[in-house]
Amino acid sequence: MANVFDDALRRLLAERLSAFERRQLADAGLKRAAVAITVVPQAGEAAFLLTRRAPRLNAHGGQWALPGGRLDGNENAMEAALRELEEEVSLRTGASSVLGTLDDYPTRSGYLITPVVVWAESIDGMKPNPGEVASIHPFPLAELQRPDSPVLVTIAESERPVIRLPLGESHVHAPTAAVLYQFGEVALRGRATRVAHFEQPVWAWK
């Protein structure tokens, strides 16, 4: 399913996100963080950005990730997501590029993540920050509409299902998988689907 990168798609995504009743969770001692789900053009189609984290990073080096990180000082989630997007991949966008936000997602590693959906008209000048990002990968939005997605896995350590999304020839786990799955459900399918109950693989608990 192709998604043309145009004003009609931007309006549709913004309308669906605006109509969605986002669930904001109390931090309960968790560190506040934000990630940017960034919709970008790729050969006329709409795509979203994932990065490969620099392998030398202490936490989850080499893994798939959305641009993002902890809130600094008095930042809100939108400000943090836009700052991290610029710091990690050199994409600078303003507040007007934000289409909406999704549910807070608590992680086993001690963070409460707010996903912020961003529309980037151009990826000219985009490049990875070598201190944090090994590489940048645009994936077509259609990857979030695959019939074989999501994959739910049972683990002995939890009663909750682990969510995994196939992407191209690879796959991504929660928390990134949970956030992207909700984006696909809410913004692309118009479904008010919740994801906070989805588990993360044990190696992501640290």
Domains of the chain are: 7-145 (3.90.79.10)
- Tens-digit pLDDT profile for residues 142-159: 999 999 999 999 999 999
pTM: 0.95
Residue whose tokens read 């798609």: 9
Predicted pLDDT at 56: 61
With b for 16 or more beta-carbon neighbours within 10 A and e for fewer, the 149-183 pattern comes to bbeeeeeeeeeebbbbbebeeeebbbbbbbbbbbb
Q: What is the sign of the dihedral through the CA atoms of 168, 170, 175 and 181?
A: positive
pLDDT more than 90, % of the chain: 86
**Res 61 pLDDT > 70:** no
